[in-house]
Amino acid sequence: MTETMPATQKAAGKELVAYLKNKYGIGIVQRHCDVCATSCPGTNFPFSDIAGASGSVSVTTTPSEGDGDKTILKEDGWWGPKLTTRLQQIFGTTVDGVVSNQFLCYRDKNPGLDGGWKWISNPSGYSPLIKAIQKKVGAKQDGHIGPATIKAIQKWLGCVQDGCFSGPSPCIKKLQEWCNRQ
């Protein structure tokens, strides 16, 4: 059985590739197997159809009130890449949707920290975003999430200070609300 991509999915892929090519000035799109020893994206993936999409496609977006680049977050109590991206925009750090260099020992204690977190047993660096948040909330500025930083965030947002982010977390929901007001 040969798998085929539905037309709507292929059209969405073309639109995404064209948008990214236009936004970042990308001329050539390469397959993963062109640069690494892998078979990705596979023989049935319509790469040439999607990658050859013109960079002049029109993408429809709904601008938010006041700030054309501002994203309105879903206030659901989960800290994932969208919340991280918005916080990075607000605090003026590198915008990549990733909280880097975090101690692995805090991952399971904070299920509300959902996606886009780089958990490492012994990180050699820190997160500029977490360091900026620590400065804002008056916590020690080491760039690592942990009970003391979480308590400071909880205090700043008027939440119960238990030093962890449950999943979903009422405090993360308040953080999302705060971001939406910025």
Query: What confidence tens digit (pLDDT) does each residue in 109-148 have?
Result: 999 999 999 999 999 999 999 999 999 999 999 999 999 9
Quickly state the pLDDT bin for 64 (edges 50, 70, 90): very low
Quickly state the pLDDT bin for 56 (edges 50, 70, 90): very low
- Give the model's pLDDT for residue 57: 39
Shortest CA distance to 79 belongs to which of 106, 111, 130, 114? 114
- Give the model's pLDDT for residue 171: 98
Token couple for 64: 């938010």
- Give the model's pLDDT for residue 24: 57
65, pLDDT greater than 70: no
2, pLDDT greater than 90: no
154, pLDDT greater than 90: yes
Q: What share of the chain is helix, strand, coil (3-state, %, to 5)?
A: 40, 5, 55
What long-range pairs does 58-64 form, CB within 8 A, spacing at least 24? 59/15, 59/19
* Comparison of pLDDT for 46 and 166, the residue scoring more: 166
54, pLDDT greater than 70: no
The residue count for the chain:
182
Q: How many CB atoms lie within 10 A of CB 67?
A: 10
- Give the model's pLDDT for residue 13: 76
Query: What are the residue boundaries of the structural domains of the chain, listed by start?
Result: 7-51, 81-181
